[in-house]
Chains A and B, each alone.
Chain A
Amino acid sequence: MAETYVEHEVSHPALQHHFENLEQQREAGTLGMWVFLVTEIMFFGGMFLAYTLYRSKYPEAFAIASNHLDIKLGAINTAVLIFSSFTMAMAVYSTQVGKRRAQIISLVLTIVLGLAFLGIKAVEYYQKYEDHLIPGSLIPGNPFNPDPHAMHLTPGVSMQHVQMFYWIYFAMTGMHALHMIIGVGLLSVLLYFSLKRRYTPEYHNPVEVIGLYWHFVDIVWIFLFPLLYLLGRHLGGHAG
């Protein structure tokens, strides 16, 4: 006769009732975050498609538009985000080996670096606002109207296509920034519970999965940076 009863182990306070054990819960949590990241890949994928299409159609306009982006700030932001990915990985590591102080410090650093990224982004956006480069009528009083001379617009290249670049720039970096803001929020929650000693070597799946999310946001930027900022530098683009 088949065994029909399975004993329940003494449960960890973090074990949810519908899971058999912590290992199953952890597996489910990690798999769940990965499946969610798949949706994020497809979400950004649609915008990458639009970018690829219009860049292939209007290479000169895109190069000219791209050269007006601040490469220094873009590169600094890239380094900031990469560093934050490192500190995030260290936060997971620290939790895995039970080093609570390192865990807290790593989380705080990650949050600070994330906020630094957003701050630099805000500076960049403000520069675009001042140069009347915000596309369409997104800002009602400040339509897209840059100085063609300041843009180094070569004759024959349409300013409309330049605007197309800036729309894609704002859509993609804006969506990325939104995900960063959400990430900073999630990290703050993690920090709060870390201070309350919730995460241990035995139970730290939330730190892991939010780490996965954070690394994903980093990867999106790893692609955004060369595609948006480095397009046309070899065509005589000057630094910043």
Chain B
Amino acid sequence: MSEHIVPVRVYVSIFLALIVGTTLTVWAAFQDFPGPLNVIVAMTIAVVKATLVVLYFMHVRYSARLIWVIVASALFWMGILFALTFSDYLTRGWM
């Protein structure tokens, strides 16, 4: 069997990190950061949490390159949907 078995302590650490992340994001939500920083902070924390789940709980860190390509492609495709749609909405006022 070619699979890698992730040790329990890794799972526990990731779990604790996720709880810390959640606490952090709730705390940060009540702080009035300048400009768009609230959104940026919230999304950064969310991305970090999601990355931890993907890499460790979903074993992507130990998986074949094909899986990495699949995950990256899905995110890229969502990016296409957002980017090109917003190329319309953001530039409508330019005329």
Q: Which A residues lie at the B interface, using CB under 8 A?
A: 23, 30-31, 34-35, 37-38, 41-42, 45-46, 48-49, 52-53, 56, 71, 75, 78-79, 82-83, 85-86, 88-90, 93, 96-97, 201-202, 208, 211-212, 215-216, 218-219, 222-223, 225-227, 229-230, 233-235, 237
Contacts and interface: CB of A to CB of B under 8 A. Distances in A.
Contacts of B54: 215, 219
Given A37-B74, A42-B74, A234-B38, A93 B19 contact: no
A237 B3 CA distance: 48
Contacts of B33: 234
Contacts of B81: 42, 45-46, 49
B94 interface: no
Nearest to A220: B50
A223 B78 CA distance: 14
Nearest to A94: B8
Given A215-B53, A222-B49, A93 B70 contact: no
A52 B82 contact: yes
Given A34-B70, A52-B86, 4 more contacts: A93-B6, A93-B8, A230-B25, A230-B26
Given A212-B58, A234-B32, A93 B53 contact: no
A45 B12 CA distance: 30
A48 B77 CA distance: 13
A53 B89 contact: yes
Nearest to B78: A45
Interface string B29-56: 1111100001000110110011001101
A219 B53 contact: yes
A201 B57 contact: no
10 tightest Cβ-Cβ pairs between the two chains A and B: A230-B29, A86-B15, A226-B42, A233-B29, A45-B78, A38-B74, A234-B32, A41-B74, A82-B18, A89-B57
DSSP class of A's interface residues: helix, strand, loop or mixed? helix
A56 B93 CA distance: 14
B5 interface: yes
Point out which of B15, B71, B73 has the most chain A C-beta atoms below 10 A from its C-beta.
B15
6 contacts: A38-B73, A48-B78, A49-B81, A82-B22, A86-B11, A226-B45
Interface residues of B, number: 47
Contacts of B86: 52-53
Contacts of B53: 85, 215, 218-219, 222
Point out which of A34, A86, A89, A93 has the most chain B C-beta atoms below 10 A from its C-beta.
A89
A90 B11 contact: yes
Contacts of B30: 233-234, 237
Contacts of A201: 1
A202 to B, nearest CB: 7
Contacts of B50: 219, 222-223
Nearest to A219: B50
Given A41-B75, A219-B54, A49 B82 contact: yes
